Structure 1
Amino acid sequence: MAEEVSLRRPEAEELAMRACVAAGASQASARSLVDATLSAALFGPATLGFPHFVDYLNAFAEGRIKGDSQPSLQRSFPAFMVSDADGGIAQLGFDLAFADLVETTRTLGIAVFTQTNSYTAGELGYYVRRLAGEGLIGLAATNANAMVVPKPGGAAVYSTNPMAFGFPLGDQTLPLVIDQASSATAFVNIVQAAEQGQPIPDGWAVDENGEPTQDATKALTGALLPFGGRKGGNVALFVEMLSAGLSGGPWSLDTPDFRSGNASPAVGLSIIAIMPGLGDERIRRAHAQTIRLHDHGVFIPGVTGIPFPPSPTAELKIPRTVFESISRFASLQAERN
């Protein structure tokens, strides 16, 4: 197991903020990104917390993210909001529209937020988790550069094309949050396996020749596979249409690599927010059903295995290599001061 560094939340937050600013982010972008990173570290997949945060730092420094972006928001229809992230991070555009999105949903019962021209969306569960915190149901979809082949030997035409769904369960529990890629695994899991020299399961990826591989390093030069074969490929296409199609952002085939070069991926993000009826009856009913399912041995994503409420003294565990990468950026800010 990779060596880890334990930090209290305030320490991790302060380090991440310094690293963001040193990498070229404005205070507003840094705040939005660090909030999303901490949420992923506490409640989401660990790989989409601080390990993915390093991708953002590199992207700020190398020009794939505009550090001083000024997202703009327009309303095409009463319940349809369109954001241009101005080459910045997806989280900032979402944060600036969040209050309006919540108010519109509560007024009209449903609202759509769609955004283009941003860096990759990060942990997609973050967006629906935020909505669930306001008592709203959320559905989110996004894309990135092509890295998924519909079948072995085919061309990479989709990104991992994740989708997330959130349902509030009341104040005494975390919300139900389903966040999963349409590929057999998330790309960050391949990166982590390659860095640690670990094999990957059969069915996750193919090498550069289109042959199935369990070598993570070969998978990085090849492509990922969809989960469930053709049905997973259909889900990837559904997400592609909901994110790139609805937002007007680039298709995955046309999206620049989010880990190299100096061009913004400019990807699409679409979020649908829904009121779960009047009052709390539907929320209480959903909570009761998750308890019932849990008693049948069902894993409830977003809830099972996650302490609630979070302990104020709990420490965040960060892989040492990730901690060192973040610290190198943060030290640049210290030198400037």
Structure 2
Amino acid sequence: MDQQTLPAREAEKLAEQACLAAGANQATASALAKATISAALFGRSGVGFPHLLDYLSGFRAGRINGNAQPKLTSPLPAILHSDASGGIAQLGFELAAPTLVERTRELGVAIFTQGNSYPPGELGYYARRLALEGLIALAVSNSPAAVAGSPGGKIAFGTNPMAFSAPLTEADAPLVIDQASSATTFVSLVKAAESGSKIPEGWAIDEKGEMTTDAAAGLRGALLAFGGAKGANVAMMIECLAAGLSGASWSLDMPDFQRGSRPIDAGMTIIAIQPTVIDKEFSSRLTRQLDRIAERGAYVPGRRLVRSNISEEDYIEIDSVVLEKIRRSL
């Protein structure tokens, strides 16, 4: 795959300009560009600049309200609710984050829940942001239905991802876990279909509900939940927290996030916890425990250096085809 390397600041400006050209207001463009760069540098690059193309298409088609002004309320001191007004999830979070952090430090636990938004992109972004503030975070979101609970079954859930983060002794290298409740992500299935690659059995079913290793057939059929019924249970719990608490649409009621002009109305809920309320040594104890686990051969995700802001020394690689599409959109 042909890649081009850009200074991160230049790439962020490019993303912002592309959003503005697609009809987004300045606040929306800035929030989305910031999250896109964070995914490319510190998280899941596949939902960074490649996914930005979905946002640009969404702005133009009307699936995303580019002029949204999220409405933030606090029905209880420990609960913040955002109506994203049909806009991006990142903007509602950006506006609520200072209050969410303040309330969590004050109360020990606080919840941010948001409805009426486009799917939130890389969920790990929100968790990383809170870990850098010294907080534990559990973030969940639902998305348009694309996942069957079992082979032979009908589509019932979104990929319904979850992300978890916790601060470690190295304050800028938190533990971050970010995964879908499906056996793979929709983006991974699309990439396999585009390249003609076979997919592992257990990722998807075809139109007849049968297991397939053909990615294109999987796109015509459905993704599968990971681990069978256990993964479907996780998807259901996420649906309750993300859509149920926020008042957003259930995954089955959402339109296609890549086609049409209807708003998606996705939900997201973030539970933030102050970890030092009981144990002041939380981070050092967790760091030592993760070291012990790693020494035993277990995979420990995250623990990468992350930052809220980028520097002149930061560079990112972008697929040349993706980069050209973004540049042509200006």
Cα separation, 2, equivalents of 1:107 and 1:313: 36
Cα separation, 2, equivalents of 1:98 and 1:308: 18
Partner residue in 2 for 1:161 = 160
Cα separation, 1, equivalents of 2:129 and 2:94: 10
Cα separation, 1, equivalents of 2:299 and 2:33: 28
Following superposition of structure 1 onto structure 2, how do residues 1-337 of structure 1 map, counting pairs within 5 Å? 2-278=1-277, 280-303=280-303, 306=304, 313-330=313-330
Equivalent residue letter for 2:205: V
Equivalent residue letter for 1:45: R
Single out whichever of 214-223 and 277-286 deviates more from structure 2.
277-286
Equivalent residue letter for 2:300: I
- Are 1:65 and 1:89, in contact at CA under 8 Å, matched by a contact in 2? yes
* Structure 2 residue ranges without an equivalent (≥5): none
- Are 2:83 and 2:116, in contact at CA under 8 Å, matched by a contact in 1? yes
| CA separation of 1:40 and 1:191: change in aligned 2, threshold 3 A | same
Cα separation, 2, equivalents of 1:323 and 1:208: 33
Residue 99 of structure 1 aligns to a residue in which SS?
Answer: helix
Residue 24 of structure 2 aligns to a residue in which SS?
Answer: coil
Q: CA deviation at 1:294?
A: 2.4
**What does the per-residue CA deviation read over 1:220-278, in whole Å, with 9 as the maximum and x for residues that have no partner?**
12110010011111111111111111111110110111111001111110000000024
Cα separation, 2, equivalents of 1:28 and 1:311: 21
Residue 67 of structure 1 aligns to a residue in which SS?
Answer: coil
TM-score of the superposed pair, with normalisation by structure 2: 0.95
Q: CA deviation at 1:280?
A: 4.5
Residue 245 of structure 1 aligns to a residue in which SS?
Answer: helix
- Are 1:182 and 1:227, in contact at CA under 8 Å, matched by a contact in 2? yes
Cα separation, 1, equivalents of 2:267 and 2:78: 18
Q: CA deviation at 1:53?
A: 1.2
Q: CA deviation at 1:13?
A: 1.0
Residue 157 of structure 1 aligns to a residue in which SS?
Answer: strand
- Are 2:172 and 2:305, in contact at CA under 8 Å, matched by a contact in 1? no
Q: CA deviation at 1:312?
A: 5.1
Equivalent residue letter for 2:284: R
Equivalent residue letter for 1:277: T
Q: CA deviation at 1:322?
A: 1.2
Equivalent residue letter for 1:296: R
Q: CA deviation at 1:299?
A: 2.4
Cα separation, 1, equivalents of 2:122 and 2:274: 23
Cα separation, 1, equivalents of 2:306 and 2:117: 32
Q: CA deviation at 1:316?
A: 1.0
* Structure 1 residue ranges without an equivalent (≥5): 331-337
Cα separation, 1, equivalents of 2:311 and 2:225: 37
- Are 1:184 and 1:204, in contact at CA under 8 Å, matched by a contact in 2? yes
Residue 32 of structure 2 aligns to a residue in which SS?
Answer: helix
Cα separation, 2, equivalents of 1:235 and 1:318: 33
Cα separation, 1, equivalents of 2:188 and 2:305: 24
Aligned length: 327
- Are 1:62 and 1:262, in contact at CA under 8 Å, matched by a contact in 2? yes
Cα separation, 2, equivalents of 1:133 and 1:75: 24
Residue 236 of structure 1 aligns to a residue in which SS?
Answer: helix
Equivalent residue letter for 1:255: M
| CA separation of 1:167 and 1:261: change in aligned 2, threshold 3 A | same
Residue 91 of structure 1 aligns to a residue in which SS?
Answer: helix
- Are 1:43 and 1:302, in contact at CA under 8 Å, matched by a contact in 2? no
- Are 2:9 and 2:312, in contact at CA under 8 Å, matched by a contact in 1? no
Residue 155 of structure 2 aligns to a residue in which SS?
Answer: coil
TM-score of the superposed pair, with normalisation by structure 1: 0.93
Equivalent residue letter for 2:275: P
Residue 113 of structure 2 aligns to a residue in which SS?
Answer: strand
- Are 1:153 and 1:210, in contact at CA under 8 Å, matched by a contact in 2? yes
Residue 34 of structure 2 aligns to a residue in which SS?
Answer: helix
- Are 1:102 and 1:131, in contact at CA under 8 Å, matched by a contact in 2? yes
Residue 117 of structure 1 aligns to a residue in which SS?
Answer: strand
Equivalent residue letter for 2:292: R
Equivalent residue letter for 2:12: E
Equivalent residue letter for 1:69: A
Cα separation, 1, equivalents of 2:79 and 2:60: 34
Residue 81 of structure 2 aligns to a residue in which SS?
Answer: strand
- Indicate the RMSD between aligned Cα atoms, in angstroms: 1.6
